[in-house]
């Protein structure tokens, strides 16, 4: 039986052909290699019909045009040649669309990304809806690739080289208004008239021609171009630290096309696409993408979730305010904030107001929409309005007695089905639930700071938490736009447990005389977004070090921090960015103020900052401790799978995505190599580097964390 075609041709009475795109059985339209013959057949019909005045490509899906090409196609390629052939087929298809002798219009509503945008670029004009769902972009770089169906050649010619570079190198997505402004689309219309407006555009003999802004025209000349590529190349190398080969190839391919003409450009694009598809970085980034999609589909439990109609938050501090904001404004759920005084409530409300107001100012949101979202958040200093809340998130001080009191208050003032979720970073959930009447409805829900930016949450059931409670909490986290992983209720849970030895080692390096900026630079070079010491400043030294004694009490001395260093820093009233002084000094807010290392730190610690180690040696010590701890978590089943462990580390602490996460990275090194490095470090620096038993066994048996076939392609 032949598969139903994803493309249907309908000729209207006014002789405009409408090609609707609807991939059977899928929520999103994605381009697959097997569609090439279907498109060819339709293009032949169009060419044969001499009466046609124009063609419109439109999606039959309710909320997306084409979300990109099917990534599995790349995973199925066994060599660079195969991936290159794939790109040339894509280029060929787009060239045939572009060569039609009558006007071809892309009518875009919803996501138009990657291969979808390349198809729209091959059309003669583009029109899109003013809907919030409509976004246009080329995100291939995020998978370690570049656009392979002509995007690197068509986009710079359409919107100018500097705007195109910005889009292709960052993968950023443009909204309708932005796309119109840069000349990526020719018209923006309401969704109700998209087809009619596209048909009218198709009937026009000549397509709309934008003249590029003067700046872009100058940059397109040989001198401007040389200058631009030099500048952008420098900036990109600084950002990527040489860890992402795709960015360099993107610059190369676009420059080739502009300097030597588009046929050389298409050729370079296909070759680069083939090479990049085989790089370990792209494989790792694609694995992270698949694993993340997989986690987002995972309901966390076999049982159906309970109701989720309204939520409450206890505590109006920074965390409470952030949690209320994502619940109401991302999740669309009514939220009630309780605090002991009106000041806390106002603080939390102001937090949401500031977030939304910024969106209104940037024109991402209409003022009426802002008011509608804010109206979902209310505040109280007692338990009025709590009787029917389905789930209450507690975000008060890290004090066990206080949290236990909160559980009792919620059980007394809420419905029998209400779930109590604690945002604790260090206290065991079983202790919080110890005196509960309904312990099966107590669970941990650990957010990371700042809540609105960090994508990860840890969902932490204790031994008696019910499956229904887990399913409901996972459902809420997804509504809030988060990626949830379910982890066991042991000290530090997962993310903080693997982070603590990493940060401890960075502080130990300080006490040995290494300089703050050198330590941070070494780990940024390794691929982390910020260095460990800057991270401690960002989180707050007081908050970040709270967890160390908890971990030390649970797991012994491998978690002990270097003696008195932290205490002497805290005693000097250094909390990090929140009070303007930590390891770094933070100037007054403003664009110009740069943070700089405070030289007084070295006196406080009692060392002269003199570097003895190289960057790779510094990175190795911090990262190896993190990997060893991650292997222990895997063995103890703190995380349910290598997938969850990788996602938790990439999205929770910014573990380098191009390495795929700690478990993918250990698999790529091989357990034997990880053990050998840890043994060498044990000899050099002491017993905290002793490789854990599970790693030794894996090295002996030649095992890996990811089971063959457990990954990407079957998602």
Catalytic amino acids? 458
Sorted by sequence, the CB contacts under 8 Å of residue 46 that are 6+ apart come out as 9, 17, 52, 55, 100, 102
Q: H/E element holding 104?
A: strand 104-108
**Does 496 sit behind a cis peptide bond, omega within 30 degrees of 0 on the bond before it?**
no
Helix (H, G, I), strand (E, B) or coil at 612: coil
Half-sphere exposure of 277 (CA within 13 A, CB side): 25
Helix (H, G, I), strand (E, B) or coil at 689: helix
Give the 3-state DSSP-derived string for 190-232, with helices as H, strands as E and coil as C. Answer: CHHHHHHHHHHHHHCCCCCCCCCCHHHHHHHCHHHHHHHHHHH
Integer Cα distance of 557 and 554 in angstroms: 9
DSSP string across 451-516: TTT--EEEEEE-TT--HHHHHHHHHHHHHTT-EEEEB-SSTTTTHHHHHHHHHHHHHHHHHTT--H
Sheet holding 335-338, edge to edge: 377-380, 335-338, 311-314, 391-394, 419-422, 442-447, 456-461, 483-486
Sort residue 78 into left (φ over 0), alpha (ψ -120 to 50) or beta.
alpha
Question: Position of tokens 């994502």?
Answer: 326
- For residue 213, CA distances in Å to 69, 181, 313, 653 come to 31, 11, 50, 41
Q: List residues bridging with 443 in a β-sheet.
A: 421, 461
User: Cβ(287)–Cβ(295) under 8 Å?
Assistant: no
Integer Cα distance of 111 and 117 in angstroms: 9
Integer Cα distance of 325 and 330 in angstroms: 7
Integer Cα distance of 289 and 52 in angstroms: 42
Integer Cα distance of 76 and 71 in angstroms: 9
Integer Cα distance of 242 and 428 in angstroms: 41
Q: H/E element holding 326?
A: none
- What is the distance in angstroms between the CA of the first residue and the CA of the last residue of the chain? 24
Sorted by sequence, the CB contacts under 8 Å of residue 567 that are 6+ apart come out as none
Integer Cα distance of 360 and 127 in angstroms: 24
Sort residue 702 into left (φ over 0), alpha (ψ -120 to 50) or beta.
left
């Amino acid at each position: 039986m032949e598969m139903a075609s994803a493309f249907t041709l309908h000729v209207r009475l006014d002789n405009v052909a409408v090609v609707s795109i609807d991939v059977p059985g899928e929520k999103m339209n994605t381009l697959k290699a097997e569609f090439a013959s279907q498109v060819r057949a339709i293009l032949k019909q169009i060419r044969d019909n001499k009466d046609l005045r124009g063609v419109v490509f439109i999606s039959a899906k309710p909320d997306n045009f084409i979300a990109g090409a099917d990534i599995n196609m790349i995973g199925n390629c066994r060599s660079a040649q195969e991936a290159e052939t794939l790109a040339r087929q894509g280029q060929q298809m787009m060239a045939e669309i572009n060569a039609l002798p009558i006007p071809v219009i892309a009518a875009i509503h919803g996501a138009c990304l990657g291969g979808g945008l390349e198809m729209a670029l091959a059309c003669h004009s583009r029109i899109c809806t003013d809907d919030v769902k409509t976004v246009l972009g080329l995100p291939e770089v995020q998978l370690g690739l570049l656009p392979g169906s002509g995007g690197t050649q068509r986009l710079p010619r359409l919107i100018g080289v500097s705007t195109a570079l910005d889009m292709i190198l960052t993968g950023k997505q443009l909204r309708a208004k932005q796309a119109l402004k840069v000349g990526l689309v020719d018209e923006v219309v309401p969704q109700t008239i998209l087809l009619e407006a596209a048909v009218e555009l198709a009937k026009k003999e000549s397509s709309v021609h934008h003249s590029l802004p003067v700046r872009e025209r100058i940059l397109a000349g040989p001198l401007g171009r040389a200058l631009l590529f030099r500048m952008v190349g420098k900036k990109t190398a600084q950002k990527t630290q040489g860890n992402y080969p795709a960015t360099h190839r993107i610059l190369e391919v676009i420059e080739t096309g502009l300097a030597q003409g588009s046929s050389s450009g298409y050729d370079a694009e296909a070759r680069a696409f083939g090479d990049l598809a085989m790089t370990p970085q792209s494989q790792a980034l694609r694995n992270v993408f698949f694993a993340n999609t997989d986690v987002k589909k995972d309901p966390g439990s076999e049982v159906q979730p309970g109701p989720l109609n309204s939520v409450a938050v206890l505590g109006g501090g920074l965390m409470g305010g952030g949690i209320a904001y994502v619940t109401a404004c991302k999740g669309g759920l009514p939220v009630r904030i309780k605090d002991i005084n009106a000041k806390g409530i106002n603080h939390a409300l102001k937090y949401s107001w500031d977030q939304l107001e910024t969106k209104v100012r940037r024109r991402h949101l209409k003022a009426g929409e802002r008011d509608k979202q804010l109206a979902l958040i209310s505040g109280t200093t007692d338990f009025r309005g709590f009787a029917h809340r389905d789930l209450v998130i507690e975000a008060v001080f890290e004090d066990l007695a206080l949290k236990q009191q909160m559980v009792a208050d919620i059980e007394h003032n809420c419905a029998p089905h209400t779930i109590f979720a604690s945002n604790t970073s260090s206290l065991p959930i079983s202790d919080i639930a110890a005196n509960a009447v309904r312990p099966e409805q107590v669970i941990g829900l650990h957010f990371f700071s700042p809540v609105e930016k960090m994508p990860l949450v840890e969902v932490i059931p204790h031994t008696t938490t019910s499956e229904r409670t887990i399913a409901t909490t996972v459902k809420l986290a997804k509504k809030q736009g988060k990626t949830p992983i379910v982890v066991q209720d042991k000290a530090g849970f997962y993310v903080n447990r693997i982070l603590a030895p990493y940060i401890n080692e960075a502080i130990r390096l300080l006490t040995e005389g290494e300089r703050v900026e050198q330590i941070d630079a070494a780990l940024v070079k390794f691929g982390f977004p910020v260095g460990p010491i800057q991270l401690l400043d960002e989180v707050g030294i007081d908050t970040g070090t709270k967890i160390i004694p908890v971990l030390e009490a649970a797991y012994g001395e491998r978690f002990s921090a270097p003696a008195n260093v932290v205490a002497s820093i805290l005693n000097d009233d250094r909390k990090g960015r929140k009070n303007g002084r930590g390891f770094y000094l933070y100037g007054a807010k403003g664009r110009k103020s740069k943070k700089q290392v405070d030289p007084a730190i070295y006196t406080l610690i009692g060392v002269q900052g003199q570097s003895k180690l190289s960057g790779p040696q510094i990175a190795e010590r911090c990262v190896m401790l993190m990997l060893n701890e991650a292997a222990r978590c895997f063995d103890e089943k703190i995380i349910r799978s290598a997938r969850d462990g990788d996602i938790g580390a990439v999205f929770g602490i910014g573990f380098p995505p191009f390495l795929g996460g700690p478990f993918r990275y250990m698999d790529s090194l091989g357990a034997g190599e990880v053990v050998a490095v840890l043994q060498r470090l044990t000899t050099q620096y002491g017993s905290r580097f002793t490789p854990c038993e599970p790693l030794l066994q894996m090295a002996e048996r030649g095992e890996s964390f990811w089971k063959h076939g457990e990954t990407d392609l079957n998602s």
